Amino acid sequence: MQSSAMSKIIVILLIQAGSAQILGTFHQSFRTDQPGQLTVENRSGDIRIIGTEGPQVEVTGTVVKKKIKNLFGHRQESVQELLDHPPLSWKDGNLTVQKIDRDLAEFVRVNYTIAVPPDMRVHCATGAGDLHIAALNYPIQVSTGAGDVELNDLKGGGEVSTGSGDMSGSRVNGDLTLSTGSGNIVLTGCAGYCKIETGSGDIHLTYDDQGQCRVKTGSGNIDIEKLMGGADVSTGSGDIQATGYPLDVWDFRTGSGDVNVDIHPDAGANLDLHSYSGSIQVEPQVEVVSSGHRHLEGILRGGGPKVTVSTASGDISIQ
């Protein structure tokens, strides 16, 4: 990786620190012709991991003082020791970023920017802090106790979680699992199986290719675009909007909210619709199999995969 590119990343990291007091930075580089695994264990701090072409692994750490804490005596010496001897372990193409001392972690956090070859496998965890992961070829495993997550240009998918925070991503291939205890999730340009869950928050998912999804929020709206594969979608309280071409079973459920499903004009489906307190409207011509005050079963354009929609309190619209 060219030094000018790393300089740009360092500038970004320093800007992200904002008005917080930066106590110092450290930088180390390693060379590998056979990328292994990057393991990051951070007590608190933001982490950026970027895939870059070339055999170099570049690590920049920024030590930032926590606003409510003051450093005195031996703790200042501990900070200098951290800057002089970063908690990095390198062996046979594998890099481990270790946790700093628990006592010191009460007073400072460490933000990391790490540039790695795209084929490096990544396992990353921080107790609190934002995560930004981009341009990697293999599945990732990353988590933060509290913080936002951004994913870009991932070819292998992976498992990503945050205890509390928003999640966003673009151009993610492969099987992907996203979960947040509380926060919104926005994912665009995805392909493959997506399992997405938030305890409370909205979810927006856009496909670029055929893929299946399981989407769940305890409370919030769900919007899925360009859906083709199977779908299992539910919200405890919120509206559901979906558009696409059903090639497999679709199942949409909400405890309280409206459901609007826009089916491609060339696609057929077997409809099974239930609204226990609301209206049911199907705009395309449908062959009714059975109907009642609260349900409708019908065949749309000759039939196809089953599309089930149910809401305890809300309207259903099929277009």
pLDDT in tens, the chain (319 residues): 444 444 444 444 444 444 579 999 999 999 999 999 999 999 999 999 999 999 999 999 999 998 765 666 678 889 999 999 999 999 999 999 999 999 999 999 999 999 999 999 999 999 999 999 999 999 999 999 999 999 999 999 999 999 999 999 999 999 999 999 999 999 999 889 999 999 999 999 999 888 899 999 999 999 999 999 999 999 999 999 999 999 999 999 999 999 999 999 999 999 999 999 999 999 888 999 999 989 999 999 999 999 999 999 999 999 9
3-state secondary structure of 81: helix
Residue 258 falls inside a structural domain = no
Please give the pLDDT value at position 72: 62
| Full domain range(s) for residue 78 | 1-120
Would you give the DSSP letter of residue 101? P
Q: How far is Cα 174 from Cα 156, in angstroms, rounded to an integer?
A: 5
Residue 20 falls inside a structural domain = yes
Residue 100 falls inside a structural domain = yes
Residues in Cβ contact with 218 at an 8 Å cutoff, skipping those fewer than 6 apart: 198, 199, 200, 235, 236, 237
Q: Environment class of residue 180 by beta-carbon count within 10 Å: exposed (0-12), middle (13-18) or buried (19+)?
A: buried
Beta partners for 189?
none
Residue 280 falls inside a structural domain = no
Please give the pLDDT value at position 20: 72
Residue 221 falls inside a structural domain = no
Neighbouring CB atoms inside 10 A of 278's CB total 18
Residue 51 falls inside a structural domain = yes
Residue 76 falls inside a structural domain = yes
Please give the pLDDT value at position 12: 45
Amino acid in the structure at residue 273: L
Query: At residue 15, what are phi and psi to the nearest 5 degrees?
Result: -65, -40
Please give the pLDDT value at position 73: 63
Residue 319 falls inside a structural domain = no
Contact between 257 and 240 under an 8 Å Cβ cutoff? The reply is yes
Number of domain units in the chain: 1
Please give the pLDDT value at position 275: 97
Q: How far is Cα 187 from Cα 151, in angstroms, rounded to an integer?
A: 9
Q: Closest Cα to residue 16, out of 177, 147, 201, 125?
A: 147
Residues in Cβ contact with 185 at an 8 Å cutoff, skipping those fewer than 6 apart: 166, 167, 168, 178, 196, 198, 201, 202, 203, 204, 205
Please give the C-alpha separations between residue 226 and each of 108, 124, 206, 207, 306, in angstroms, as whole numbers: 45, 31, 6, 5, 17
